[in-house]
Each structure stands twice: as structure tokens, then as C-alpha cells.
Amino acid sequence: MNSSLVQTYKVSSCAKICENCQTRPDIPYRYHHGGDQSQALILGIFPLHTINETTRYSCGNLDTGSFFVMVVEAFFFSVKEISQRTNMNFSALAFDDCYSENRVSLILSEFLSGKLKIPDGRGKFLDPNNVVTVIGAAASGVTVPMTFQFTSLGIPVISYASSSPDLDDRINYPYFLRTVPSDVDQAKAMIEIAKHLKWKYVGGILYVNNNYGSKGKELLMSYANHSDICVGRAIEIQETEDNSFDVIDEMKRTKSHVFMYFGTDVRLKALLAKMKKDNYQSVVFLASEDWGERQDILDDHGDIVMGSITSKFETRSAVNGFDSYLQTLKPEVENTNDWFRNFWANFFNCNPPGRFDKTKDTDCPANTGFSSQNIGQLVKNQRIVHVMNAVFAVGTAMVNVKDKLCQGVSYPCENIKSHVDDVVREIQNVKLSVGGSTFSVFNPKRNGNVGFQILNIQKTDIQSYEYKQVGLDF
């Protein structure tokens, strides 16, 4: 174009200072190469760090209390196990979404476009077209937009934790499955517990203003109304900034000591810390499963939440050997795995061998390792169990997918993308074995075929508290 002939043409130039500009954050990952014959890639999305309250594209601190670093270990362990059982030789790739839909959008954009180049172990780079299934995410607010993106690519998504009722929509999310129930079932279970306890008045429903919390609050309000349970008010907790003192003021105004909580464990810990600082105690919560049985909450705030009721998804693990694997897991073995090394430093409060950026006062003794009690808790952790079951469901189903859709050609084949409904059906119909019996991973709605374990926080001695199972809900 001849710019001299255009009267309105002006030369553009970059501003010298951009106040709103942000540098692109690094995208750490962990990759397992399945072998020379491996093509199929299972992608895992996990929240290893907390959300960054300044910019949602970056991350906050490592979230050691949720054990998601160990969930990643379970992910890679189960991929290796199912590869051996099926002789499919899956490769695996894991990213950290930091509970942020913005961050996961950035990660997927960089990876799927080929801008993020990850060595595949054979002198080339990973081909995003070889992703056969996505395991993730945990937070519903991340899973919903992520699933929408993978739906357009014809790739099934299996979440191990996202329970939002939005994901029950099979029109917009036709290739989505999850190993956990929908919040529709969870909210009903919570109201049934309140009815069993003969609660007629609840001071308020505390909820985090993300997809998980907001949808859960709406369900609780509706079911409470139909059950003649009066709810004083809905009290909003900000997801990305700490408004705990405002929340506490609203709680006090209800003149009640009984509340429901539907939100993330990260925001709960911030609230409980402020409650302790404000000397606001003697509160009983009926809480959703994201609280679950986090031990760090009891260690730090057991005196505040004693008597509260939480729940966790039922756990039936079809994967054996993870306990033995944990016994051998050491930072010197995982010397290139920064996620695990940082977790180890925080969990044992010491510097792992070979660490130059020492953040703790002492180095780890040579005999540092997980105790039998630690291992017992980890193998029953609901996130760990559901991730491993999800991976085993995928691996088991892909044997049939390969035989039916990739006859005479290498797997994964183009025929899979044009028959995604068949792939999803194979995954949905998988049955896994545990203790000599079999169970279906998914129900007819493609939600987890599990119920809830009801837990009550009780005092064991002067300064110790525990979660005691007091019931089941199916």
C-alpha cells in the first residue's frame, strides 16, 4: 500500500513505558518418556502452587498442605504401571495450573501451538497431536474453560476433583468425565446431614466466589429452602484477596455458631488464621469435600473447628504398589524434580541433599523419609486415589480403542479424533479390580461412581485432633 495516498495513515510506535504489561512467566513441566515405541501422551494438569493474588498468570507459594506434589507422583507412577500392564507404553506430561484459569489458558496456548517445545526423549519435541486424554484439573474454575478448549480438539478430559454442576452439561462438554460426584449430590448430602442433626437455622453459607463455591452455594440455598432449613445469609469469600475480617464481621452479626462452608481449602486456612487472631472461636462448620481431611488445618486450627463436620470422596484404589514406591522416594533419586525437592524441604523442614539454595536451617539427615503413618495417609488421600483410578481407566480403555479404531496403523491414529464418542464410551464402561471384586469407575452420567465419607473433627488429647469417620452417604 502506498501510505502517501492515505490521508489518515499514521506511523505507529511502541510506548516507552507500558504500565499494564507483564512478562510471560516460565512454564515448568515434568515429563516421562514412555519408550522408543511410545507415541500416545497423557497430559496431567495439577495445582501445585497457590494462585498469585497480583497476577493470575504467575503462581504463589507451593501448596504443601494439599499434597498435590504427591498427586503428581501418583500420576506418573500409575502411567508407568498401566503401561506395563497393557504394553501400551504411554508417555506422560504434567503442568502446574496454580488454581488459575488464566495460567492454564497460557500453558495450553503455548503447548498446543508448538511455541513451548518439550524434548520427547528421542531427539525431537513432543507433538501436541499425540495427546490422547487429559487428566485434570482439580479446581472447577480451571476445568470448565480447559474442557471447553479440549472439546473443540476432540480430546477427552477426566477430572479427579472438579465437581461443578456446570460440567454435568453433556451438550457443551460431551467428552468430559470425572471420577468424583457432582456437587448436586454433595449439596444434597450436606443438607441431609443438617436434617439428621436437626438443624433448623444456619447462620450463613460461607462460599468462595469461584465456580466451585458459587455453584455450591446456590445448590445449598435451594435445597435448604426445600428442607425448611433457614439460612441467615450467604457470605462471600474473595478468591484472590483476603477479606477474612469482613467475613468474620458478617458471621458475628448472625448471632449463630453454626455455618456451612463451600469453598477451597486455601481460603479456609486464611479465614481460620484470622479467626484465631480475632479470638473468634466455638464455631461449627458443615463443610464441602475440598476441606476433606487436611491434617494441617487440624494442626494449626483444631481448637477453632472442633466438632465441625467435613466429607471426602469415597476411595477405592485399583492401583497397587504405590506404598512401596513411596518408601524408596528420595530427593537424591528425584534430583531433577524441583517440585518434589521443594515439597520434601517443606514437609521435613530441612534441606535435601545437593541443594544449593538452602531455605531451611538444617540439612536433612541421611535417614529422612516418609514414615509408615505418612505412607498410610498418602495411599488413602482422595486426590491420589482418584488420579490413579483415572489413569488406569484411560489405559484400560485405550487397549480396546487401539484394537477397534487403529487397526493396521500406529496408535494414536487419526481415526480416534473422528470417533471421540466411541473413545469416551470405552472409558466410561471401564471396570477396575480391587480386593478380588470389580467396580465401575463412572456412573451412567459419567460422574464418579462413589459416595462420601462423613468425617467429624474430634479431640484426641489436650492438643491433638483427628477426623473420625461417622458415616457414609451414597
pLDDT in tens, 152-182: 999 999 999 999 999 999 999 999 999 999 9
Which residue from 211, 205, 260, 219 is spatially nearest to 239, judged by alpha carbons?
211
Dihedral of alpha carbons 128, 133, 137, 142, sign? positive
Instruction: Using the predicted structure, report yes or no on whether residue 21 has a pLDDT greater than 60.
Output: no
How far apart are alpha carbons 75 and 119 in whole angstroms? 20
The per-residue pLDDT for 24 is 56
Grade residue 429 by pLDDT with cuts at 50, 70 and 90: very high
Q: Which three cell numbers stand for residue 75?
A: 500420576
Stretch 27-50: mean pLDDT, rounded?
91
Please report the beta strands in 136-187, taking only residues with DSSP state E, as ranges in sequence order: 157-159, 176-178
The per-residue pLDDT for 318 is 83
Grade residue 13 by pLDDT with cuts at 50, 70 and 90: very low
Instruction: Using the predicted structure, report yes or no on whether residue 282 has a pLDDT greater than 90.
Output: no
Q: What are phi and psi of 58, to 5 degrees?
A: -105, -175
The per-residue pLDDT for 23 is 55
Q: What are phi and psi of 268, to 5 degrees?
A: -65, -45
Which of 11-25, 280-294, 336-350 is the least confident region?
11-25
| pLDDT over 70 percentage in the chain | 93
Q: Which three cell numbers stand for residue 295?
A: 491434617
Instruction: Using the predicted structure, report yes or no on whether residue 5 has a pLDDT greater than 70.
Output: no
Instruction: Using the predicted structure, report yes or no on whether residue 12 has a pLDDT greater than 50.
Output: no
Which of residues 409 and 393 earns the better pLDDT score? 393
Grade residue 315 by pLDDT with cuts at 50, 70 and 90: confident
Grade residue 9 by pLDDT with cuts at 50, 70 and 90: very low
Give per-residue pLDDT as tens, 72-90: 999 999 999 999 999 999 9
The per-residue pLDDT for 121 is 84
Q: Among 191-195, 330-334, 404-408, which range has the highest average pLDDT? A: 191-195
The per-residue pLDDT for 8 is 37
